[in-house]
Every structure is written in structure tokens, then in C-alpha cells.
Structure 1
Amino acid sequence: MSLSGKVILVTGGSNGIGKACVERLAQDGASVVVNYNRDAAAADAIVASIGADRALAVQADVSTLEAVGRLVDEAVAKFGKLDAVVANAGMMLMRNVENTTEVDFDQCFNLNVKGPYFLAQKAVPHMPPGGRIIFVSTSVCRFSSVPPDYLLYAATKGAVDQMTRVMAKGLAAKGITVNAVAPGPTATDFFFRGKSEAVIEGMKKANPFGRLGEPADMAGVVAFLCGKDSGWVSGQTYLVNGAMIV
């Protein structure tokens, strides 16, 4: 699968699933924009490994509209266009309805929903026909019984799922597809944070394959959705969880 000549922007691209996506997309031939918020060293190392002619690191807190606009402007100034954006940056706050503060709510929705929404808005004018928008959701939204502490996080990702469905119809006339990837438990620092070894082992055993997902598992699906063979796929949320949730 070749992405040669394509320009793809990945938010939260310096670590975890975002880093795996950047590396896979570059491996497949794309030029990449690596967005990061705090870890400049990690982003710079990725750019160095790919080469400054095909990679650009841009610091931006993509929970804010100003930063999202600046990110897109810097990407286009470097490469002249955007063929795809991968809205990967996100946060998980474990909150139920009783312990959620207004600050919690605004932080989570700003990064997980507002950021991707306006990233799409700002990117679309710079996308040729055949453009791709890819959001990151979660398999949690398909659990038959979601634990109460996942309420706030699940609410943001439920919004992402609906954005995917409705935006796909709105952008079809421009030849732009919109899809989402919904990872299950994946071996990243984001996932491991705050979890005991026993909980992690339990999640491995709960999966039919007996393991957690790897960032590369997600990156492969993202690479497909960025490519030409996915042109008749739009408005879909792909569950990437090894049949843990179907």
C-alpha cells in the first residue's frame, strides 16, 4: 500500500498509538505532520528518524481552536496541502455523574470532541478530492455494560461516533471520507496509567487472542483508511480490539 505523495497530519503523534500511526504512514511513503503538546524531544526524534524533508513537528494544544488553526496553517505552509488528518489526541478522565466537575467536563470535551471537530473544519479547505478524516473513538462505547467511572470518557467518544456518521454525509460531495477507529485495550502508557498489574492481566485474559492490542495494530487500520483502497468506506467506526467486543 503506497501513500507516496500524500500529506497526513496526526494529532498526539509523539507517543503511543499516534506515534505508531506516524511511523507506519511514513513507512508507506507519506509526508507526516507530528503534532505534540508537551513532549518536544519525542516529536523531534520522530522527525529526525523520518527526515525533515518528509516530516514536521508542530507543538499545539489541540483542545483550543486557536491552536488547531495554527497547526493546520503550519502544516500547509510546509507541504502545501493536507490529504488526511488523524485526530488521535485525547484524554481519559475516570468520572461518574457524581464526581465530575465542570473543569473535568470542559477539559475532556475540549480535547476529545472540540479539537477533532474543528481540526476537520480547518483541514477541509486544504484537502483535494480523495481526502481522509479519521477520528479515534473507543470500543468502550460498545460494551454491553459500561462501568460508571467511564461515563465522561464514553460521552466524549459517543460524540465522536456521531460526528463520524453525520460528517461523512456532509463531506461526501467534496470526495472526502470520514471514518473512526475504536481501539480496545492497547499497550500504551495512556492505557497503563492507574491500572494494577492484576487489572491488566485480567484484560489480556478477557481477549480471545489472550493479549492486549499493540499500537501497530491500530496503525495498520489507520493506514488502510488513509489509502486509495478505502475510498468507498465512509461514516464507519472500526472496532479494533481482537474480537474482545463485537
Structure 2
Amino acid sequence: MSTVAAPLPLHGRTAIVTGASRGIGRAIAIHLHSLGANLVLNYASNSTQADLLASDLNQSSAPLRRAVAVQADVSDPDQVKRLFDSAEKEFGSEIHILVNSAGILDSKYPSLAGTAVEDWDETFRVNCRGAFLVCKEAENRIKRGGGGRILLITTSIVLSLPPGYGAYAASKAAVEAMAKIAAKELKGTGVTVNCVAPGPVETELFYAGKSEETVARIAEACPMVRLGQPDDVAKVVGFLATDAGEWVNGQGTRVGVVLHRFESEAVAGKLCQRRLSPFGLC
């Protein structure tokens, strides 16, 4: 007697992942594709990596074409609208899932007093304004009645609040507040809104501006005695994106650890404050 394989949990659903050309966003896109989703891979400037990822995903799902790379600046409302238009046109369906993983960090790790106004504004332009614009567009266009998911990648730094992360922490904390409000505003629609806040994760953004010694200290301090991998975060996002994650709403899910100990060491001068960053970045 032959058996019919059960459909993948995200079969037939369309997902937009911003910041998908590398790091955590890339891992999330790959994982959602493995769960059956059609993928719109958003990138700001790294077209080579985004196009290569789309090609690899389409080869794995051939003859079906289930991934497309779309350039858009998430801080520009017209480009965000075009991103969503492209998703609907490409796959001929409503959008079911938005994952906002686009983000930047000032790797100089300046104090608040030493933060240039231009750098503060740029951090908020991408991290906060960008999250607002894609969330706003998703609220107006994402599928109602079940299966709609808005997932915003933040950071464990909003809890640990280390020196040198003023603009970054403030921008991500604003996103977490916005997500909780959005979840309440979408009551009754079947759309959930959640944040995923990674701890230390091996990405280009994490390594920027850090010495090898600092990275080694961070890994040693983690309970698993290693840094997190982008796939560790992607699996949590995948769960929240499926029907299994329906009862999780308006939450900030911490993935990994928050290493408060390094804060006091930095203040005491045991670590160079500009090199300190014992926290996962996304």
C-alpha cells in the first residue's frame, strides 16, 4: 500500500525575508525554504550573494521556482511597497510571512557622548524605521484568517545594555515595543507578531570590531561553550512561522544567552570597552 507524503509545514506559503543575503537572514531564508515556503530574498546592496542564494534554492526545488532575490532599501516606503508587490506578483498569492532581519551596527562601539548624530540617525534609519515600514506594509497586506506571521529580529542586548551599544540597543528596543503593540492591534486577524532576540551568533556583524581574545572570552562564557550559529536562530524562527507557533504572540523570544558578566568587566577596565561585545548581534 502506497503512502502519500505529508505536505511540508509551509507548503504554498510566501515569505519575505529582509537582509537575506548573509548572516542570520540567509540562514532563515534557507530554513523557511526547507519547510516548503516560497521565498522573496530581500537585500540592500549584496546582489551577488542574494542571486546566488536564490539560484541554489531554485536548483534544490527544481523544476519549481520557489525563490527570487529583490533589492529594496527597507527604510524607503516606496521601495518597501515595491518589495511586497514583487512578492505577490512572483508567486501569485498573498504574503503569509514577513521576517525582518535587516540591520546595522556601529562597530566602533562609541559611548553615547561619543556617538555622532549622523551615526545615530543611520542606525535608527535602518533598524527602527526599516522595521516600522516593513511591519506597516505587512499589517496591511499579509494574509488574514490564520498562518499570517510577522517576525522581527532584535537582540539580547536590549536586556544586557552594555556600554558602546547605545544607538543599537535603543533602535532594537523600539522594535520590540512596536511588535507588542502591533500584536494587540492585529487582534482577531489570525496574524501573530513576535520578536526573536539572538545571543552571541557567528556573523560578520558579530565579529566586526572585536579582537580574537574578546571572541574567545565570549564563546567560553556561553553555557554550550561555543558561539551560536545562524541555523540556531533560523530553527526558532521556523517554528514561529509554522502553525505550531500560533499560540506565541506579542513575545520577545530570547535565543541563546545574555552575558551580563562582561558588562561589569568592561566598566572595571578588564576588557577594552571598544572591543567588548559579548552579546549576539543580528
Which of the five TM-score ranges fits, normalised by the shorter chain? over 0.9
Aligned partner of 1:22 in structure 2 is: 29
The Cα of 1:244 is off from its aligned counterpart by 5.0
Aligned positions of 1:105-184 closer than 5 A:
105-129=120-144, 130=146, 131-143=148-160, 146-184=161-199
Aligned positions of 1:97-112 closer than 5 A:
97-112=112-127
Structure 1 residue runs of 4 or more that deviate by more than 4 Å after TM superposition: 242-245
The Cα of 1:121 is off from its aligned counterpart by 1.3
Please identify, of 174-183 and 90-99, the stretch whose mean Cα deviation from structure 2 is larger. Answer: 90-99
Q: Distance in 2 between matches of 1:147 and 1:177?
A: 30
Q: 1:55 aligns with which of 64, 67, 71?
A: 67
Deviation digits for residues 112-135 of structure 1 (CA, Å, limit 9, x no counterpart): 111111111112333222210000
Aligned partner of 1:92 in structure 2 is: 105
AA aligned opposite 1:162:
A
AA aligned opposite 1:27:
S
- SS of 1:90 mapped into structure 2: coil
Consecutive unaligned residues in structure 2, runs of 5 or more: 1-7, 59-63, 261-282
The Cα of 1:198 is off from its aligned counterpart by 0.3
The Cα of 1:156 is off from its aligned counterpart by 0.5
The Cα of 1:38 is off from its aligned counterpart by 1.3
Q: Distance in 2 between matches of 1:184 and 1:69?
A: 31
**RMSD value over aligned CA atoms?**
1.4
- SS of 1:238 mapped into structure 2: strand
Contact 2:156-2:258 within 8 A present in 1 as well: no
Larger Rg: 2
Q: Distance in 2 between matches of 1:122 and 1:221?
A: 24
The Cα of 1:95 is off from its aligned counterpart by 3.1
Contact 1:11-1:34 within 8 A present in 2 as well: yes
Residues 1:199 and 2:214 are matched in the alignment: yes
Contact 1:5-1:31 within 8 A present in 2 as well: yes
Q: Distance in 2 between matches of 1:34 and 1:230?
A: 22
Q: Distance in 2 between matches of 1:134 and 1:239?
A: 13
Please identify, of 2-11 and 61-70, the stretch whose mean Cα deviation from structure 2 is larger. Answer: 61-70
Contact 1:224-1:230 within 8 A present in 2 as well: yes
Aligned length: 243
The Cα of 1:46 is off from its aligned counterpart by 1.0
AA aligned opposite 2:249:
S
Q: Distance in 2 between matches of 1:126 and 1:107?
A: 27
Between structures 1 and 2, the one with greater helix share: 1
The Cα of 1:187 is off from its aligned counterpart by 0.5
Q: 2:227 aligns with which of 194, 203, 212?
A: 212
Deviation digits for residues 168-222 of structure 1 (CA, Å, limit 9, x no counterpart): 1001222110000000110011111111100000000111110000000000000
Q: Structure 1 length normalisation: TM-score?
A: 0.94
Q: Distance in 2 between matches of 1:120 and 1:76?
A: 16
Quickly say closer, same or farther: Cα 1:104–1:243, change in 2 above 3 A. closer
The Cα of 1:242 is off from its aligned counterpart by 4.5
AA aligned opposite 1:137:
T
Aligned partner of 2:96 in structure 1 is: 83
Aligned partner of 1:37 in structure 2 is: 44
Aligned partner of 2:4 in structure 1 is: none
Q: Structure 2 length normalisation: TM-score?
A: 0.83
Q: What is the identity percentage for the equivalent residue pairs of Structure 1 and Structure 2?
A: 39
Q: Distance in 2 between matches of 1:77 and 1:105?
A: 36
Please identify, of 191-200 and 117-126, the stretch whose mean Cα deviation from structure 2 is larger. Answer: 117-126
